[in-house]
Amino acid sequence: MKLARLLAPALAMLAIATPGFAAEKLKIGYLRVMDDAQVIAAYEGGFYEKQGLDVELIEFQSGTDLIKAIVGGQLDTGVLGFTNAASWSSRGADLKVVGGAQLGFHAIVVREETGINDVAGLKGHTLASQKEGSTADTVLKGVVLKNAGLTADELTIMGVSPQVAVQSLVGKRVDAAFLFEPQATIAQLIAPVKQIYEIGEVWPFPCMVVITSGQTLKNRKDAVWKSLDAQREAIDLLEQKPAEAAKLIANYFVAEPTIKTMNKGEIPREDVIRDAIVSQTFSAKLTDAELNRMQEIADIMQSQGALKTRSGEQFDVNSIVDLSWQQERKL
């Protein structure tokens, strides 16, 4: 594998010059959430092929599993939460954040019968969220609950996938859930739940970013940059033509052609995903404000004991950020 990566640039040139020659695949990891819509849209829209890339999309159930694959060399890049890169980098992993993806939009929805009307009302209740140490878990405990005057031990938090969180709401196994899109929208369509909070409205942050290993960036920079170009084109589609984008990606989130709702009959899945896309903010660029917010998140992780540096000093986010692609593209 190491030799193949070293030969990648020469193989890429040979692939262009030789008809029928198969270039080395670029393996990209993703999670089945709206935060990763750019990866899916780039694949289904043919944007990777347009850049001359042979991409294999690999789905993961959690950002932790995805980052392990990048660290282990089984994956070239992935779109996932920044906290995964920070945590592993603090332990010596050679990781780089090379682009943006989506700003954090995570809603808290509650079962109407619970009578919960605000975050403070979650005290004593059960909440489904993401796995401990994930970006969602970090901001839930370090921002959402803290700002409401709560600590994590004042409620029961279940770390599950967004899909399981919705099922738990429907099955009355939890009183509330902290959800990505489109799961937050779907939950409100199929279960007697209401939204009481949206972190993207009060504390916007770069939830998902594009991460690769330093080794991959060194050996396959051209391919990584082309994948970012493809994803940028996909973001333009998501932002400017959400209905068109929804047709490309809807089946990744909803298996059936329609969703049977509680009060609105059956709704085409494309309509649901279109609305979920519109509710989000996608951006290929990482701004100074977003980098500062990432540093805030890293500081929260350190205060929670989830991120430890060898000498105990503050973890510097700039140490794992490589903005050469967006600088080259003058974003």
- In sequence order, the β-bridge partners of residue 57 are 28
Q: Which of 155, 186, 202 is the last residue of a domain?
A: 202
Whether 186 and 137 map to the same domain: the answer is yes
CATH of the domain at 162: 3.40.190.10
Residues 249, 187, single domain; the answer is no
Q: Are the beta carbons of 182 and 35 closer than 8 angstroms?
A: no
Counted domains in the chain = 2
Q: Point out the domain boundary residue: 141, 173, 202.
A: 202
User: Do residues 14 and 96 both lie within one domain?
Assistant: yes
pLDDT attached to residue 11: 40
- Residue 316: domain span: 2-103+206-328
For 68-100, the three-class secondary structure string (H helix, E strand, C coil) is: HHHHCCCCCEEEEEHHHHHHHHHCCCCEEEEEE
User: Do both 256 and 299 map to the same domain?
Assistant: yes
- Whether residues 6 and 64 fall in one domain: yes
My answer on whether 197 and 237 are in the same domain is: no
pTM greater than the 0.85 cutoff: yes
Instruction: Specify the pLDDT at position 23.
Output: 65
CA distances (Å), origin 283, targets 101, 228, 235, 237, 321: 5, 11, 7, 12, 16
| Rounded-to-5 percentages of helix, strand, coil across the chain | 50, 20, 30
Q: Provide block-wise average pLDDT over 10 residues at a time, the chain (331 residues).
A: 40 42 83 94 98 97 92 96 90 94 91 97 96 88 96 96 92 96 94 95 91 97 98 97 98 95 94 95 94 94 85 88 96 91
**Residues near 134 by Cβ (< 8 Å), separated by ≥ 6?**
62, 63, 64, 81, 83, 84, 159
Does 98 share its domain with 113? no
Q: Where a domain ends, among 152, 176, 202? A: 202
